Amino acid sequence: MKKFSEIVYSRPNLEAYSAELKKDIEAFKASDTLELQRQLFLKISRDSKKNGSAHSFVEVKYSQNSKDAFFEDEKKYFDNEMPKLSPVFKEFGIACLNAKFRKELEAEFGKQFFDLTELQNKIVSEEVVPLLQKENELSAEYQKLKSEIKIDFDGKMRNLSGMSPLMESTDREYRKAASKAMYTEMIKVQPELDRIYDELVKVRTELAHKLGYENFVQMGYDRMGRTCYNAQDITKYRGFVAKYVTPKVAILKDKIAKLQGLDTMYHYDSLLFKDGNATPKTSPEQMIADAQVMYNELSHETGVFFKQMIDLEVMDLLNRENKSPGGYCTYIDEIKSPFIFSNFNGTSHDVDVLTHEAGHAFQCYCSTHFELGEYLFPTSESAEIHSMSMEFFAWNWVDKFFLQDTEKYKLGHLLKSLFFLPYGVSVDEFQQNVFENPSISAEKRRAMWNKVSDTYSPWIKVDNEPFLENGGRWQLQAHIYQMPFYYIDYTLAQLCAFQFYKKMNEDFDKAWKDYHRLCKQGGSMNFLELLEVANLSSPFDEKGFAETIDFIFNEINRLFDEYNKELAAN
């Protein structure tokens, strides 16, 4: 098999491609036999995958070395040329929806492609291109503003991401001071944060109106490719979180406060364990070697998968000069393989890359049999099931990474996952309120955040911090600015990953089979259909929701008891 390093890159001629695509679309429309229409459908899909492959390759190469002038140029070429193709693809979408043999094509390739195309057509139109550009500009402005915030703390200038490890310090006074330093800078830029969001809300509302929506809520759902649930379902679901999760998290927060000897937990007291959160104990190289052993033992297919990831050189994990920050999993069609990119930093995040990102990659690896590029990854609430569940499938082996911190890691993992739900749904409800009331002032909007947050997370106590008191917490959450309505997806997937956790405790092999079957379906079905494939109950089903949360809560209490026993013994 061809390795990543053996890919020979040459720039595709996107102008010629566009001309050929237009010709193919005309022929597709005019096809009077099923076979002809089917062949053209497949050709268009293949060609698009081929260009996508070159594009992904360029993105990977550039993120591996941002000083590489050649790939910087190539990236610019794609950035300039790709948007020009979008009206042509829209035309193909319309042609598919009106295809003479649509019924037959649907029967062979699945309904999901056509359902997604229908939504795509609703949200793209030549007329709104300037508004979309404006939206991108504002989103970039937010990112720039945030990345330029510098905090002078403890003898060092730091950016926002450099501050987050300090919030896990075991020294409370240090955490408090770090938090003070950070929010002192945040409140200085709050007027700008307010202005950018205000403009974003206006632009998105105008976009929605131009495209015939009442407000941006449904448009946001359509953008996320949600074909099987709506805002009413989500409203009900958020109610389940308030009813079943919030009271349990309140109990656990109390327990943690007592264990740490704190009377009141303030906003800077997110530390889970008095003596610090779990950290990996081995070198990055050892971790990768241990991950291979883990995947060999987990199942035959994961063993083959991980060996292939190493053999094809499609994991770039270690920190290096000139590498872009962050991490991702993408797909390179030329070698029919996913690619994982990350920057190891010595925290438990490194283990997450080897489990979470590998979960995304394994699903993609299992889905390369699909002819349609649209089916390589599912919509995001489904995609996060594979990654978050793989984090749990790895539990039997995480002692390799965490040694004496293993029990602490497991307890911390479940706690963080459960604690995330009230915050996750707050972010979603806030956005719905915002877009249903697009003309209220920035002050009122921030007050609205506090009200929502109090509903789901009543334990949050602010210790004299104006930025939080005036409702600014959400302004740190990039998704609200850059990917509206995305955030709820993490919580939906978490509910599904919890169910896998429960299943693996009952029957590990059966749980794995359900998971593997789900991975092989890729994005060929919608969320609710995929849940059926995996024998999972829908997060919109109250009974299943309550049972899952009960199980997790009991598990947390069991792990707490074990952890306390361990503490007492040492």
- Binding stretches for Zn ion (CB under 5 A): 387
Q: What six digits make up the tokens of 464?
A: 């004299």
Residues 6+ positions from 462 with CB-CB distance below 8 Å? 266, 267, 468, 469
Identify the three-state secondary structure at position 246: helix
Distance from C-alpha of 242 to C-alpha of 422, rounded to nearest angstrom = 7
Instruction: Tell the smallest beta-carbon distance from residue 388 to Zn ion (Å).
Output: 7
Q: Specify the residue, 354 or 559, whose C-beta has the smaller distance to Zn ion.
A: 354
CB of 103 to Zn ion, least distance (A): 36
- Round to whole Å and give the CA distance between 25 and 5: 35
Which lies closer to Zn ion via its Cβ, residue 53 or residue 387?
A: 387
Least Å distance between CB 331 and Zn ion?
14
Contact between 329 and 342 under an 8 Å Cβ cutoff? The reply is no
Strands 151-153 and 328-332: unpaired
Nearer to Zn ion, 269 or 381 (CB): 381
Cβ distance to Zn ion smaller for residue 387 or 475: 387
Q: How far is the CB of 216 from Zn ion (least distance, A)?
A: 25
Closest CA to 570 of 416, 409, 408: 408
Q: Give CA angle at 375 (390, 299), nearest 5°.
A: 30
Q: Which is nearer to Zn ion, 382 or 499 (CB)?
A: 382
Number of residue whose CB is nearest Zn ion? 387
Q: Write down the least CB distance from residue 378 to Zn ion, Å.
A: 12
Q: Closer CB to Zn ion, residue 207 or residue 418?
A: 418
Nearest CB to Zn ion, comparing residues 355 and 387: 387
The stretches of 225-334 forming alpha helices (DSSP H) are 231-240, 246-259, 284-298, 300-311
Specify whether the CB–CB gap between 182 and 163 falls below 8 A. Answer: yes
Please give the backbone phi and psi of residue 153, each rounded to the nearest 5 degrees, phi first.
-145, 135
3-class SS string, 465-525: CHHHHCCCHHHHCHHHHHCCCCCHHHHHHHHHHHHHHHHHHHCHHHHHHHHHHHHHHCCCC
What is the closest distance, in whole angstroms, from the C-beta atom of residue 490 to Zn ion in the complex? 8
CB of 328 to Zn ion, least distance (A): 9
Minimum Å gap between C-beta 183 and Zn ion is 28
Burial string for 425-451 (b: 16+ CB within 10 Å, else e) reads bbbbbbbbbbbeebeeebeebbebbbe
User: Tokens 């009413």 correspond to what residue?
Assistant: 232
The most distant pair of C-alpha atoms in the chain lies apart, rounded to whole Å, by 78
In whole angstroms, what is the distance from residue 419 CA to residue 422 CA? 7
Q: How far apart are CA 355 and CA 281, in angstroms?
A: 16
The H or E element containing residue 158 is strand 156-158
- DSSP H/E element including 329: strand 328-332
> What is the secondary structure of 375-440 as a DSSP string?
GSS--HHHHHHHHHHHHHHGGGGTHHHHGGGHHHHHHHHHHHHHHHHHHHHHHHHHHHHHHHSTTS
Minimum distance from residue 390 beta carbon to Zn ion (Å): 10
Cα 488 off chain centre by: 10
The distance of closest approach from Cβ of residue 277 to Zn ion in the complex, given in angstroms and rounded to an integer, is 20
Beta carbon of residue 387, minimum distance to Zn ion (angstroms, whole number): 4
183 vs 486, beta carbon nearer Zn ion: 486
Identity of the residue, 435 or 486, whose beta carbon is nearer to Zn ion in the bound complex: 486
- CB closer to Zn ion, 179 vs 342: 342
State the pairing for strand pair 156-158/337-341: unpaired
Which is closer to Zn ion, CB of 81 or CB of 352? 352
Using CA atoms, how far apart are residues 168 and 553, in angstroms rounded to an integer? 23
Nearer to Zn ion, 389 or 524 (CB): 389
Residue type for 366, please? C
Measured from the CB of residue 535, what is the shortest distance to Zn ion in angstroms?
22
CB of 329 to Zn ion, least distance (A): 8
278 vs 497, beta carbon nearer Zn ion: 497
Q: Token digits for 530?
A: 């995929």
Question: Between residues 138 and 364, which has the closer beta carbon with respect to Zn ion?
Answer: 364
Are the CB atoms for 409 and 81 separated by under 8 Å?
no
* CB-based contacts of 173, cutoff 8 Å, min separation 6: none
Least separation in angstroms between residue 341's CB and Zn ion is 13
